[in-house]
Amino acid sequence: MYAAVEHGPVLCSDSNILCLSWKGRVPKSEKEKPVCRRRYYEEGWLATGNGRGVVGVTFTSSHCRRDRSTPQRINFNLRGHNSEVVLVRWNEPYQKLATCDADGGIFVWIQYEGRWSVELVNDRGAQVSDFTWSHDGTQALISYRDGFVLVGSVSGQRHWSSEINLESQITCGIWTPDDQQVLFGTADGQVIVMDCHGRMLAHVLLHESDGVLGMSWNYPIFLVEDSSESDTDSDDYAPPQDGPAAYPIPVQNIKPLLTVSFTSGDISLMNNYDDLSPTVIRSGLKEVVAQWCTQGDLLAVAGMERQTQLGELPNGPLLKSAMVKFYNVRGEHIFTLDTLVQRPIISICWGHRDSRLLMASGPALYVVRVEHRVSSLQLLCQQAIASTLREDKDVSKLTLPPRLCSYLSTAFIPTIKPPIPDPNNMRDFVSYPSAGNERLHCTMKRTEDDPEVGGPCYTLYLEYLGGLVPILKGRRISKLRPEFVIMDPRTDSKPDEIYGNSLISTVIDSCNCSDSSDIELSDDWAAKKSPKISRASKSPKLPRISIEARKSPKLPRAAQELSRSPRLPLRKPSVGSPSLTRREFPFEDITQHNYLAQVTSNIWGTKFKIVGLAAFLPTNLGAVIYKTSLLHLQPRQMTIYLPEVRKISMDYINLPVFNPNVFSEDEDDLPGDAVRTD
């Protein structure tokens, strides 16, 4: 086999990622009937829980082609927990998501018409040690650290509960493959066995000195109906010579093995909980996290190197790094993946028919591409060349045949959709539309209120992996009018202080909460939502920045007609009405403060213009007209002008496409090509 970390920028959130869970994406039209679900496992959704109490649901894809369509919305940030989210568990048969926080709150989420809402809530007030769905998805097993265990249905009905009197805490709980028994692991090395009705069956001591960290079976997590279609029916099936095989051969007729991991780093492979001669794996790692792949033929064990394995360097001790070891069903070591991660790996999960292994370490998320078969020479060459190249665009510089260049480019296609914006190309990301039709959902919050810097600041964050990535920053510049200047978020600090490419030693500490929400809660849970900014605080009044005029060069009339935006036709201002003219910033201020655009307004705050200030942006970026009735007798209307912004050559970058007289203060008639929202 072969495994390698996916090439590209490090994926990260604004807080520590504490748990992971992945499920395949099945079309809505085929959820109620047997389908070849292996085909749809090439796309899926990754659920993450972080230290800020936010659950992220992000679209993933293992397609090797870039032209595949994606969902219109590919990231959701679900808010509702009051503390850090420690567990996320998908229920694939019922398409639900269970999340648990550190305070014991349990939410069951369901998606309806593109929105996520809380369907069930359970809050006992005690810490949850584990949450596991049954293999058919109809039941849930909840175990608490104080010894209380509960089994309920997927609809929220309680089947039975029990209080287990122990001197130590329960650390994990799982179902047997036939869903007839439940097993609990304890911190003193015991395994407690109960039947599906809550009757105690056995107490077994597995280890006298080590506690049980986790338990699992090399058995599919969920049993779903599947049609008899073959793997080759998939649109993205490719023979081994065309790329890495993402379709492992299922293991047949293998008895399920109970896998128990201990605090010492040892792992026992047992035929049952009372197996007297288990196979013991000496991983040599600490803080281990182990999980079987879906096919049940490969066990991934992630952890940190022990101090005894580390040597000494002339300039000091060698830093510890995380590694992943792979074992087969006989406990034989197959492959070791050395990583440069210097933090413990908190959680791992398999995805995309076991062709991807997702790992969370601190705020960073790593994607490992796994080849189950004997790796081909072509695959080894692809990974060797890709590791020496920094970006995908460097592939075109190589003198290779087009077929090999295309194959080499697949090594840079990210699994997590969308990839996080490159901090070196952040301006291109915010200035020009993306190639696809996906929607990028953002959150805006007030971050500063310092009169010395010119006014209150608002930062626009992109929602990503349950966190927030700053992409734009705005500052109010007028005392009487709602006028703003939009700038790069790296204006007042270095790029690495806002968002870095490394393992984020300094993450965004200013994003403690978010005002927007992708959830629908009942009135009883309205008080638990994140605090919202009041309307009065959204438009503070501070002194206006002094600005100077900058004239555009005169051009022939033909060039002016050519440069005009088709959506902003030339109009004459009304007589006696002051138009919304553009107030120009000095070139030095634009360069020094990384100004991108300016928003001007009339005195009533009903008409706005967006003017480009940066040299690479067109002067006219749009306009907004807001109409309202004094007595609110008719619906309020908003008309938005959005000219298309494209990357153009430098010969046309400074053409005066802005017309200051698009509309005037008392102008009511609108152009016909405007976009109106009610």
Of 407, 367, 408, 370, nearest to 391 by C-alpha is 408
- Tens-place pLDDT, residues 50-69: 999 999 999 999 887 666 67
Pair (353, 439) in one structural domain: no
- Strand 2-5 versus strand 11-12 pairing type: unpaired
Q: Across the beta sheet with 285-292, what order do the strands follow?
A: 285-292, 299-305, 322-327, 333-338
pLDDT tier at 425 (50, 70, 90 boundaries)? confident
Q: Does pTM surpass 0.75? A: yes
Instruction: Band the pLDDT of 490: cuts 50, 70, 90.
Output: low
Are residue 211 and residue 74 in the same domain, yes or no? yes
Q: Which residues pair with 360 in a beta bridge?
A: 347, 365
The dihedral formed by the CA atoms of 60, 62, 64 and 66, expressed in degrees to the nearest 10? -10
- In this structure, the answer to whether residues 298 and 214 fall within a common structural domain is yes
What's the confidence (pLDDT) of residue 426?
Answer: 77
Q: What is the per-residue pLDDT for 224?
A: 67
The answer to whether residue 338 is domain-embedded is: yes
471 and 487 housed in the same domain: no
Condensed to tens digits (0 to 9), the pLDDT of residues 133-179 reads 999 999 999 999 989 999 999 999 999 999 988 888 999 999 999 99
Q: Is residue 292 part of a domain?
A: yes
pLDDT band at 556 (very low <50, low <70, confident <90, very high): very low
Q: How far apart are CA 624 and CA 656, in angstroms?
A: 20
pLDDT band at 552 (very low <50, low <70, confident <90, very high): very low
pLDDT at 437: 66
State the total domains in the chain. 3
Comparison of pLDDT for 244 and 475, the residue scoring more = 475
| Residue 297 is assigned to a structural domain of this protein | yes
Q: Domain for residue 419, yes or no?
A: no
Clarify whether residues 485 and 449 are in a common domain.
no
| Residue 144, strand partner residues | 128
The first and second tokens of residue 358, run together, are 């997702």
User: Which residue, 451, 659, 501, is CA-closest to 569?
Assistant: 659
Pair of tokens at residue 232? 């080759």
Positive or negative: CA dihedral 384, 390, 392, 398: negative
Q: Are 481 and 450 part of one and the same domain?
A: no
The pLDDT score that the predictor gives to residue 340 is 84
Mean pLDDT of the chain: 75
401 part of a folded domain: no
Q: What is the pLDDT of residue 593?
A: 63
Q: What is the DSSP-derived secondary structure letter of residue 452?
A: G
Q: Do 207 and 338 sit in the same domain of this protein? A: yes
Pairing of strands 115-123, 519-520: parallel
Give the pLDDT mean for 643-666.
51
Distance, C-alpha 577 to centroid of its chain: 49
Answer yes or no: is 242 within a domain.
Answer: no
Considering the domain architecture, whether residues 361 and 451 belong to the same structural domain is answered as: no
Domain membership flag for residue 134: yes
pLDDT digits (tens, 9 = 90+) for 108-139: 999 988 889 999 999 988 999 999 999 999 99
Task: Measure the CA–CA gap between 343 and 341, rounded to whole angstroms.
Answer: 6
Asked, for residue 330, whether it belongs to a domain, the answer is: yes
Higher pLDDT, 663 or 102: 102
Which of 359, 375, 391 delimits the end of a domain? Answer: 375
Q: Kindly tell me if the per-residue pLDDT of 184 is higher than 80.
A: yes
Q: Could you tell me what percent of the chain has a pLDDT over 90?
A: 37
Q: How many CB atoms lie within 10 A of CB 259?
A: 26
Q: What is the pLDDT of residues 64-114, one digit of tens each?
A: 766 667 788 889 999 999 999 999 999 988 989 999 999 999 999 999 888
The answer on 292 and 182 residing in a single domain is yes
- Listed in sequence order, the residues at least 6 apart from 286 whose beta carbon sits closer than 8 Å to its beta carbon are 264, 265, 303, 304, 306
Range of the domain at 486: 477-491+589-662
pLDDT of residue 108: 96
Structure tokens at 423: 């901090």
Whichever domain contains 135, its CATH number is: 2.130.10.10
Q: Are residues 86 and 160 in the same domain?
A: yes
Q: What pLDDT sits at residue 208?
A: 85
Distance CA 498, CA 21 (A): 28
pLDDT of residue 349: 95
C-alpha neighbours within 13 Å on the C-beta side of residue 671: 21
| Average pLDDT of the segment spanning 395-400 | 87
Q: Facing residues of 116 across strands?
A: 111, 519
Name the phi and psi angles at 309, rounded to 5.
Answer: -85, -10
pLDDT in tens, 265-316: 999 999 999 888 999 999 999 889 999 998 899 999 999 987 644 444 445 4
- Position 399 pLDDT exceeds 50: yes
Residues 89 and 98: beta-carbon distance below 8 Å: yes
Averaged pLDDT for residues 340-345: 88
Residues 325 and 460 in one domain: no
The reported pLDDT for the residue numbered 342 is: 85
**What is the pLDDT, as a whole number, of residue 148?**
93
Same structural domain, 74 and 198? yes
Residue 575 pLDDT > 50, yes or no?
Answer: no
302-321: b or e for each residue (b if 16 or more CB lie within 10 Å)?
bbbbeeeeeeeeeeeeeebe
| Predicted pLDDT of residue 564 | 42
